[in-house]
Copies of this chain bind each other. A is one copy, B any other.
Amino acid sequence: MARPRAAGYDDQREQILARAAELFAHRGYTAATMAEIAEACGVSKATLYHYVRDKHDLLAQITGGHVARLEALIDEVGARGLAPEPHLRALVDAFLAAYASAANEHRVLTEDVKFLAPDEHAAVTAAERRVVRAFADALATLRPELRAAALETPVAMLLFGMINWTFTWLKPGGTLSHAALAPLVSDLFLGGLVSARLPQPPQPPSPRAGPPA
């Protein structure tokens, strides 16, 4: 039987992933170097390669871990058994909080997915689609005509736009917190959702797969 990893191995690994995410987020995946990452972690380059196979593996771990946490969030909120409106509000709340606590990972997910290998890229996209579907379902429950107009996914993507774009302007430590923003986002979107005029369904029965988050 193989000897177990040293205690603290996983902690060290998590630390490395977090530091790497920070560097990828600020300098970009390609521009960030393995030497920089090692230095930021306070280890040698050789030690860094003890925790990750290569630079590409680092990116896959960061993006994969982040989307997995987002999917878990969907399940957690779903398990609360809330009514439609509180349910959507809870989703908005949970995602704004998640992005606030994982801003670097979120930026890497958004900007550096293109550097993943095709199969890893497909896996991340599939997870993103499941997240979008959960939001789209919540929206269609609140406004059933959305589904008839085949607009529940586009409208979900508009909501994701509000939430996801915050990483470009909402800085932690500012006067406006993610927690304070959440009810405003929900109010804005729910208010518009019930009053918006919807176009006629484009083609009678042709639901299409939604784009990624």
Contact = CB atoms under 8 A, between A and B. Distances in A.
Contacts of A197: 183, 187
Interface string A86-121: 000000000000000000000000111011000000
B185 A28 contact: no
Contact of A154 (B157, B176, B194): B176
A100 to B, nearest CB: 14
Given A28-B29, A151-B184, A169-B157, A195 B196 contact: no
A199 B187 CA distance: 11
Nearest to A180: B199
- Binding site secondary structure of chain A: helix
A150 to B, nearest CB: 8
Interface residues of A, number: 52
A175 B207 CA distance: 11
Interface stretch (A53-61, A67-75, A158-166): A158-166
Contacts of A203: 175
Copies in the complex: 2
A92 to B, nearest CB: 11
A188 B184 contact: no
A127 interface: no
Nearest to A111: B111
A157 B161 contact: no
Given A26-B114, A28-B29, A190-B192, 13 more contacts: A31-B115, A154-B169, A154-B181, A157-B170, A158-B184, A161-B163, A161-B165, A168-B212, A183-B197, A188-B189, A189-B192, A191-B194, A191-B195
